[in-house]
Amino acid sequence: MSDDAHHPAPLSPIELRVAALEELLTEQGLLPDGFIDEVNRRFESQTGPMNGAKVVARAWVDAEYRARLLAEGTAAIAELGFGGPEGHHMVVVENTDAVHNVIVCTLCSCYPWPVLGLPPSWYKDAPYRARMVREPRALLAEMGCPLPDDVEIRVWDSSAEVRYLVLPQRPPATDGMTEAELAALVTRDSMIGVSRL
């Protein structure tokens, strides 16, 4: 085991402020002990990418649902019981053999929490936000998603007004799989567009 495993990286200034604020709110009795951990756990296990995976799997097996999802994402996602804050206006964009879509928020970290849960730390980092707009093909390749030169890359900029979800292509040789089995194949990164699946 490396020394890094025994000595975690020092907290950033914002992480120090958040920890101090959490401690103060807990001491004042305004934040129950363990509340933040429970919120994180729920987003990771109940409101995480598995919700988006269910949306994608339904679109893969139900052509009428897929059409509704691409035409009116918010309403189609709500059909499966997902929506609310950070997901009030959802647009779904579809990957094809010719087009690969990827999501970014250039201003901050707008992200569709109801279908993807908590955003990954790299999604909020300035280098991702800047480079995905400026050089998406190079950044995608660095992230493990190299794309042929003839595939068009479309970068969608999430905002407070609209959030995006990528509908990845259904993998080949999955015709006999159930909807639940298909959902298990879908990754958070594929619904952001930084991986094919």
Q: Which member of 12, 45, 105, 190 is catalytic?
A: 105
Q: Which member of 45, 109, 145, 195 is catalytic?
A: 109
Q: What is the C-alpha to C-alpha distance for residues 118 and 8, in angstroms, rounded to an integer?
A: 22
CB contact at 8 A, 115 and 87: yes
CB contact at 8 A, 159 and 103: no
Q: Which member of 2, 12, 108, 190 is catalytic?
A: 108
Q: What are phi and psi of 99, to 5 degrees?
A: -130, 135
Active site residue 159: no
CB contact at 8 A, 100 and 152: yes
Active site residue 145: no
Give how far Cα 181 sits from Cα of 33, 52, 172, 185, Å. 37, 14, 14, 7
Q: What is the C-alpha to C-alpha distance for residues 181 and 38, in angstroms, rounded to an integer?
A: 28
Q: Which member of 110, 145, 158, 190 is catalytic?
A: 110
Q: Active-site residue numbers?
A: 105, 108-110
